[in-house]
Structure 1
Amino acid sequence: MPELQSVALKMILDSAATAIRMRGQFHLVLAGGDTPRAIYKQLRSAHTDWSAWYVYFGDERCVSPTDPRRNSVMAGETWLDYVEIPADQLYTIPGELGADLAACEYAQTLNTVGIFDLTLLGLGEDGHTASLFPGHEWGAEPDSPDTLAVLDAPKPPPQRVSLSAARLSRSRQVIFLVSGESKRDAVMRWRAGENIPPRAIAPEKGVDVLVESALL
């Protein structure tokens, strides 16, 4: 298993074990995209108390519930359909309703959720994370809403729902998973201090960034 995957897998399971031991529940926000796929597949065989897992999504595309572009479809096909997390503890974003209504409904879902235990995020080649894009609204202010309706994303489909930077930051741990040669420029911009969306994710304990060594 590549090092990024093995380290990420251990960090996720360690976070779950700690949360379950201390609070009896593990609240996890999933990233979409290609980088987490292999990690999610590895989680199928993890030894953990799945009944204590609560799963959310950092963003979603506004397409039909079975569209393969949906993050929830990818997570289901690679991992969630194979484990015994109770169905009512899998909180998918209803993107099929359109960005405005789906953002509203998911905000209601998150109303009763406190601090996430772990949030997984990726990095796009343009510097975006979740569906927070450069030059668009990120919801970084402390009083920002939990969810944002994205109506004009620069990548298809244009309509998406994203958790705001402020809500993503309300997590005990945040891990960025970054792989692929196409991300090199975005990594360099981030390291140089450019104001791109990942810089707006600012949990109390900072973020962990797992990057393929070839990109450093």
Structure 2
Amino acid sequence: MSQENLAKTRWLVVADVVTAALVGVAQAAERAISIRGEFHIVLAGGNTPKALYERLTNLETDWSCWHIWYGDERCLPADDINRNSHMATQAWLANCPIPATHIHTIHAERGAEIAAADYAEQLQQVEMFDLVLLGLGEDGHTASLFPDQFDPDNPAAAIAVHNAPKPPADRVSLTVRCLNGTRAALFLVTGAGKRDAVAAWQRGDPIPAAAIAVKTGVDVLLEPVCVKENV
């Protein structure tokens, strides 16, 4: 991770990550819709984003302007409960009037290679995201970009991931380059198990999460238990 990237990373320790993220998403949506008439958001998987999505159902906004994208997906049947798209649908998308044509699913059930190529083509519809939501794994991974397996300079938009250290082994992920094509990036980090990954990031270790670099800077929402003392 470059010192420039590290300097543009804002570590925001908050009592309630979900509430803080809700405010961030609402503000980003309002700004994008008022300026450009549409809001392109990239979703993350995981329990903390799920809690956020459940609360987004009650957001007062013009849902017709929203476009939903996914940062990664697992190569499982479309209705598998471990799919990110399934989780987001059940927690939120099935309960709000975002047009179906604005929900851009990764069809990972077709296989990683085919799904990655298909999603790369879909991504040509958007010049730049307005907000990318991301999580942080205990090993420092984000989306399905894992240590020792990702290329921060890959020019593609979406890639097939094989031999992932977490099941399932086959996945589809947006690349660093694609994720960095956003006006704002927001990490949601909860749990004491993330302390080592956060410390590595703050030291400047080259973990995948640290490769996310946005011109406006990256915001990392952290629970107090995620931060080691004297780091």
Structure 1 and Structure 2 fold alike (TM over 0.5): yes
- What residue is the counterpart of 2:115 in the other structure? 102
- Spell out, residue by residue over 1:145-171, the C-alpha distance to the aligned partner (whole angstroms, 9 max, x if none): 000100111110000000000100000
* TM alignment of 1:14-53, pairs within 5 A: 14-53=27-66
Identity %: 49
Equivalent residues, number: 213
- Match of 1:187, SS? helix
User: Does the CA contact (< 8 Å) of 2:193 and 2:226 recur in 1?
Assistant: no
Question: How far did residue 183 of structure 1 move?
Answer: 1.1
- What residue is the counterpart of 2:130 in the other structure? 117
Q: Is the aligned partner of 1:159 residue 2:170?
A: yes
**Larger relative contact order, structure 1 or 2 (CA cutoff 8 Å, min sep 6):** 2
160-169 or 193-202, which moves further after superposition?
Answer: 193-202
* TM alignment of 1:177-216, pairs within 5 A: 177-216=188-227
- Unaligned ranges ≥5, structure 1: none
Q: Which amino acid aligns with 2:41?
A: L
Question: How far did residue 127 of structure 1 move?
Answer: 0.8
- Spell out, residue by residue over 1:116-149, the C-alpha distance to the aligned partner (whole angstroms, 9 max, x if none): 00000000111100000000023x22x6100010
- Spell out, residue by residue over 1:64-111, the C-alpha distance to the aligned partner (whole angstroms, 9 max, x if none): 000011000010111111000000000010000110000000000001
| Separation in structure 2 between the aligned mates of residue 74 and residue 181 of structure 1, nearest angstrom | 24
38-47 or 183-192, which moves further after superposition?
Answer: 183-192
Identify the match of residue 66 of structure 1 among 69, 79, 96.
79
Question: How far did residue 59 of structure 1 move?
Answer: 0.2
- Match of 2:188, SS? strand
TM-score by length of 1: 0.96
Q: Which amino acid aligns with 2:122?
A: T
89-98 or 2-11, which moves further after superposition?
Answer: 2-11
| Separation in structure 2 between the aligned mates of residue 85 and residue 113 of structure 1, nearest angstrom | 17
Q: Which amino acid aligns with 2:121?
A: Q
Q: Is the aligned partner of 1:173 residue 2:184?
A: yes
Question: How far did residue 113 of structure 1 move?
Answer: 1.1
| Separation in structure 1 between the aligned mates of residue 198 and residue 219 of structure 2, nearest angstrom | 14
| Separation in structure 1 between the aligned mates of residue 56 and residue 48 of structure 2, nearest angstrom | 14
| Separation in structure 1 between the aligned mates of residue 179 and residue 125 of structure 2, nearest angstrom | 15
Question: How far did residue 112 of structure 1 move?
Answer: 2.1
Question: How far did residue 61 of structure 1 move?
Answer: 0.2
201-210 or 17-26, which moves further after superposition?
Answer: 201-210
| Separation in structure 2 between the aligned mates of residue 198 and residue 126 of structure 1, nearest angstrom | 10
- Unaligned ranges ≥5, structure 2: 1-14
| Separation in structure 2 between the aligned mates of residue 203 and residue 147 of structure 1, nearest angstrom | 18
- What residue is the counterpart of 2:158 in the other structure? 147
- Spell out, residue by residue over 1:8-62, the C-alpha distance to the aligned partner (whole angstroms, 9 max, x if none): 1011000000000000000000000112111111101110000000000000000
Question: How far did residue 5 of structure 1 move?
Answer: 1.2
CA RMSD in angstroms comes to: 0.9
- Match of 2:144, SS? coil
Question: How far did residue 3 of structure 1 move?
Answer: 1.9
